[in-house]
Structure 1
Amino acid sequence: MKIIFLSTDMNIVDEWISKLEIDTYISCDDLESLNQTLSPLGSEIIIADYDTMSSEINKLISSSTLQQKLVILEKAPEILTGKMLISRGISAYGNSRMLSNHLKQIISALEEDKIWTYPELTAAIAKRDEESRLSKDAKKLIKKRLSEKELKVIYLVLDGFTNDAIANKLNITNRTVKAHISSIFSKLHVNDRVSLILLLR
């Protein structure tokens, strides 16, 4: 996939290029140059700097015409901002200064049509409160498609538990938790935790 950087801060763009260890990319510093580089097929990944381009990025999201996968990074990511952006359809959100391996994980996740968020944001999105309990339709769907053990796992996932925490709570191995989660994703036709949460909420 072609990678396009959207930022007016060339230092951060250079840092991303170095961390991703890539030679082929396009760098844009405004929406006009970005629109000129986008293909109608939407086969690019756009990595955008929210610190320098928030107004432009918000316009891009609001237009609802973006076919590309949009990654939004900022120096001080906030859970509230992340929840809003993920709910509006972006593909990934995190710290613009993240480690190289995390930036590469984002690209891998997006190439597999997954959504990527940092663990605290994923847990916050999953956290249930009184207003966001599962709807009757969601409960009916999971009871129909999932086994008894998978139901226990899915409720813990929806409560924001990590794989290790689920393993400890249910007294099973981490490998078994991963197998249950993989089966849940398959049965509910989702690719990742965030998509699962969005489906059921």
Structure 2
Amino acid sequence: MKTIFFSTDVDTINEWKSRHDVKDLLEVTNCDALLQVLSTLKEYIIVSDYDSVSHSINKMLASNTLPDKFIVLEKVPEIITGKSLILKGIKAYGNARMLKIHYQQMIETVKGGKIWTYPELTLALAKEAKRSSISDEAEALIEHRLTEKEKEVIYAILEGLTNDAIASELDITQRTVKAHISSIFSKLHVNDRVSLILLLK
């Protein structure tokens, strides 16, 4: 899968190249070049620099022309910006200077068709989608598709609890929590917690 670094800042691209040791890489500096490159590729991940190309990204979002597997990194990530971008279809949002291990986790998550966010952003998204704020349709979906224990687990997720905290609160093992979460994802046709939260909002 081809990785595309999208930034007008050559220093940022060079920093990403040296920090993450990316193979099979293309660099683009403007929207026209990006669209031209995408017309020749079937599989790709775009890693974009929000600090230098936010105008282009926002334009694509507004016109509903955002390519798939689009990642946004920012030197000083903000939860409000991350929430907005994820809700609009960005597949990952994080720190432009993240460690290599986190970069690799992010890439693998997006490659797998899932959404990646850093822990504080995931927690903020979960808190926003608490039980009291989910739609009537989402409440009905939960009622019709999930078992009683799965309902307890999903509402704990919406409170922003970790698997460990859910296990403690419900007096079950972490392994059981993971099994319930896997079943919830399957029944609601989502791949991860962020997708679940977005579904229920």
For Structure 1 versus Structure 2, the TM-score category normalised by the shorter chain is over 0.9
Match of 1:75 in 2: 75
Q: Which amino acid in 1 is paired with 2:187?
A: K
Match of 2:46 in 1: 46
For the aligned residues, what is the CA RMSD? 1.9
What are the Cα deviations for residues 62-99 of structure 1, in whole angstroms up to 9, with x where unaligned? Answer: 22123321100011111100111011111000001111
Kept in 1, the 8 Å contact 2:9–2:52? The answer is: yes
Pairing 1:94–2:94 present: yes
Length, aligned pairs only = 201
Match of 1:8 in 2: 8
User: Which sits farther off after the overlay, 44-53 or 33-42?
Assistant: 33-42
Pairing 1:31–2:31 present: yes
What are the Cα deviations for residues 96-139 of structure 1, in whole angstroms up to 9, with x where unaligned? Answer: 11111111111111111101111111111111478962222211
Q: Secondary structure at the match of 1:26?
A: strand
Gaps of 5+ in 1: none
Identity of aligned residues (%): 56
What are the Cα deviations for residues 42-70 of structure 1, in whole angstroms up to 9, with x where unaligned? Answer: 63211000111111221122221233211
Question: Normalising by structure 2, what TM-score?
Answer: 0.92
Change (3 A) 1:147 1:130: closer
User: Which sits farther off after the overlay, 117-126 or 161-170?
Assistant: 161-170
Query: 2: distance between equivalents of 1:37 and 1:69?
Result: 14
Q: Which amino acid in 1 is paired with 2:91?
A: S
Match of 1:120 in 2: 120
Question: Normalising by structure 1, what TM-score?
Answer: 0.92
Match of 1:65 in 2: 65
Q: Which amino acid in 1 is paired with 2:39?
A: S
